[in-house]
Structure 1
Amino acid sequence: MNIGGVDNAAIFEYQVIDVISNSANFYDVDCGYLNMVENCETVRGQADGMEIDFRFLTDKLLANKILIVLVVILSIITSYFISNLLPDVYKSEALLMESDYSGATVGAGSIAGEFSGLAALAGVNLGGDTTKQQLAVEVLKSRKFVKYFVDKYQLQVPILAAKGWDKSVDALLLDNSIYDSVTGLWGDKDWIGEGKPKDYKIYEEFMKILAIDVDSKTGFTRVAVKYYSPALARDWVSSLVDEVNDVLRGRDIAEFEKNIKYLSDELNKTSLSSMQSVFYSLIEEQVKKMMFAKTKNEYVFSVIDPPVVVDQPVSPNRLLIILIGLFAGVLVTLIYIFYIQK
């Protein structure tokens, strides 16, 4: 059909050819149909740049491959020797539970509830079902107990002057700049006064090797010591448990004796049979507790798993030291290659 002298078939054929031609411009071998947007050349340029950067990195690393290999070997060897210069540290620990007070507190709840007011006025602590575990843990951490323990077992030199353990002779290695084992004199340090170490320094160093952990779910307590000698670590843990039991036992016995004396004096002062009955009950309760304290060796803590000598050190972690040294060496080498080397 002709409209205005123009053939419709010819117009349609021209439009189809034009669409195909424009579609061809939309496609690019590298960018696909991204030629529809203006940044196709930018994308192609970035791809070329990444290829150039990758080649640059590869060429740099290959050019310095001998240096990299030498640094890796040197880092491993150096880290290995450094790790072997560090002394081995061993750990020994004991698993503890709170001792059973039921045998010593039979009837304590009823007596405490019935006469608690009178006992409070008399200055007598009936105790009852109160646990001593937390008290024992705090005593272990206290400065007074640490000083008592270190002085009793003469641990000033092992704690402050030891730098390792000689396995061949089973003896500690001492730092002569801190303590001279020949003359028995301490060195010139700011924490040494009047020829002996100060208490604060002893406490600080002792708390570094002592670890106490209380499991809130089970109520179990772990007491651990980390030290150069596995045998000494075992002995100290065992002694710590014995000493905290003895200290709290002695303190409670002294308190029970004081309470009994006071109640006995008050008993002799009264002629009322009802009050005498009260005082007899209070005295009986204190006597039962004192008998328990005197006969129970594991007064506060009972040992579930005793400390043992462990021959496997817990530190240093030599593999970790070697890996850190290797990483540091490679990192420094890469910085030198890409940022310093021309």
Structure 2
Amino acid sequence: MNQAPEPQHYPDDEIDLRELFATLWRGKWIIIAFTIIFAAAGVAYALYKPDIYQASALLAPAQDDAGGRIGGQLSGLASLAGVNLGGGDANKTVIAKETLQSRAFLTDFIHRHNLAVPLMATKAWSMNSGEWIFDEDIYDASAQQWLNDEDGQSQEPTDWDLVKQFREQLSVSENKDNGMLTVSFKSLSPVAAKDWVEKLVHDINEHMRAQDVQEAEASIAYLEDKLRQTNIAGMQQVFYQLIEQETRTVMLANAQREYVFKTVDPAVVPQEKSEPKRALIAIVATMLGGMLGVFAVFVMAFIRSGKEEASK
């Protein structure tokens, strides 16, 4: 006779939802305590953070109607003459964008406009008086000098520190579809944010203008020297044309107010803060507290069950 197969028993690995909810209910006060503590800490942190304002300027690459510093018909002859005439407007715009974020340019910009103190030694901005509130542990505003730390070392920031802090507050983004550039700066002061963006746009235009004028004047001096050394009428004509183009470059560079970037939408003093998102900080802190409370209840329940099984 065939024997009936014995029923097989499998371990029950399924989660008992009733036990799960019962565990959470027993630890409800722990969850509530975690949630309240984290919510209070989140609100306190959000209120402690100062308001930060962001000013932005929309820029467009300035197009040279003449099509660059030299026409295509002369570029080959200029290369033979040993003159580097550079690239077109697109290349100039790329160089200007990278220069705007370069360490050398930003270091010179910070020192030229005396931004080291408002950048590194302030803790707030007074809306009533329109003045910076300085950190008295770092900078003595009355004596206008940097203070020493506990080890006796001066807290005056290095150029590296200044550029690092400035880059954290500076944002340069490009719209790949139309080539528009957005320069933004975040600051405790809405006035300073707008003012520094304007100065950045002005200084990068002046920097690129001075650079191109200097290169053009050097090319003119070189071409005039070569002109004096040749008696070939054809080459003399080429040199005259190149000198004319370089002279025209100097004239156009000095005549254009916005040399590389034209301001489409200028920076204005922001009326609303961009940071911090206080409501979001409080919500995230509350949710984090609740999740940690649930985690703590489960850990405690797991430890308790382990001890009960060990005691049996």
Cα distance, 1:62–1:129 mapped onto 2, change above 3 Å: closer
Q: Which amino acid aligns with 1:298?
A: E
| Residue 7 of structure 2 is aligned to residue 38 of structure 1 | yes
Counterpart residue number, 2:160:
200
* Aligned residue number for residue 156 of structure 1: 116
- Offset of residue 331 of structure 1: 2.8
CA contact (8 A) 1:104 1:292 kept: no
Residues 1:119 and 2:81 are matched in the alignment: yes
Q: TM-score, normalised by structure 2?
A: 0.84
SS of the residue corresponding to residue 60 of structure 1 reads helix
Q: How does 1:1-342 map to 2 (within 5 A)?
A: 38-39=7-8, 42=10, 46=12, 50=15, 53-103=16-66, 105=68, 108-113=71-76, 115-120=77-82, 124-127=83-86, 129=88, 131-188=91-148, 196-340=156-300
* Deviation per residue, 1:124-159 (Å, 9 max, x gap): 222353530111112112222111111111000111
Which amino acid letter does the alignment assign opposite residue 262 of structure 1? Y
Contact 1:108–1:128 (CA<8 Å) still a contact in 2? no
86-95 or 284-293, which moves further after superposition? 86-95
Structure 1: which 5+ residue stretches go unaligned?
1-24, 26-35
Distance 2:122 2:17 in 1: 54
Moved more, 71-80 or 133-142: 71-80
1:95–1:223 Cα contact (<8 Å) kept: yes
Structure 1 stretch displaced more, 67-76 or 78-87: 67-76
Structure 1 counterpart of 2:47, which letter?
A: N
C-alpha contact (below 8 Å) 2:216/2:247 kept by paired residues = yes
How far, CA to CA, are the matches of 1:193 and 1:256 in structure 2?
A: 47
Indicate the larger mover: 250-259 or 269-278. Answer: 269-278
Do 2:69 and 2:249's aligned partners in 1 also have CA atoms closer than 8 Å? no
Task: Verify the 8 A CA contact 1:87 1:164 in the aligned structure 2.
Answer: yes
Indicate conservation of the 8 Å contact 2:205/2:259, yes or no: yes
RCO comparison, higher one (Cα < 8 Å, 6+): 2
CA distance in 2, matches of 1:250, 1:233: 26
In the aligned structure 2, how far is the partner of 1:185 from the partner of 1:147? 20
Distance 1:340 1:59 in 2: 13
What CA distance in whole angstroms lies between the structure 1 residues aligned with 2:224 and 2:134?
Answer: 56
Q: 1:118 to 1:189 in 2, by over 3 A?
A: farther
* Structure-2 residue corresponding to 1:22: none
2-structure distance, mates of 1:331, 1:337? 10
- Letter aligned with residue 63 of structure 2: D
Percent identical pairs in the alignment equals: 31
Change (3 A) 1:127 1:63: closer
Q: Residues 151 and 193 of structure 1: is their aligned pair in 2 closer, same or farther, counting only changes over 3 Å?
A: farther
AA matched with 1:267: L
User: Considering only aligned residues, what root-mean-square deviation do their CA atoms show, in Å?
Assistant: 2.9
TM-superposed CA distance for 1:289, in Å, is 0.8
**Distance (whole Å) between structure 1 residues aligned to residue 297 and residue 224 of structure 2:** 89
Partners of 1:37 and 1:238 in 2: CA distance: 86
Q: Secondary structure at the match of 2:195?
A: helix
Which residue identity is paired with 1:127?
G
Inter-partner Cα distance in structure 2 for 1:83 and 1:260: 60
**Equivalent-residue separation in structure 2 for 1:92 and 1:83 (angstroms):** 22
Show the counterpart of 1:17: none
Question: By how many angstroms is 1:240 displaced?
Answer: 0.5
Q: Aligned equivalents of 2:139 and 2:70: distance in 1?
A: 56
CA drift of 1:116 comes to 2.8
CA distance in 2, matches of 1:305, 1:197: 34
Per the TM alignment, residue 65 of structure 1 is displaced from its structure 2 partner at its CA by: 3.7
Higher helix fraction (1 or 2): 1
Segment of structure 1 superposing worse, 168-177 or 144-153: 168-177
Q: Secondary structure of 2:66's partner?
A: helix
**What's the TM-score once normalised by structure 1's chain length?**
0.77
CA 313–37 in structure 1, closer or farther in 2 if over 3 Å, else same: farther
How far, CA to CA, are the matches of 1:180 and 1:111 in structure 2?
60
Q: What is the one-letter code of the residue matched to 1:38?
A: P
Give CA deviations for 1:215-242 in whole Å, capped at 9, x if unaligned. 3332222211111112211111111010
Shift of 1:82: 1.2
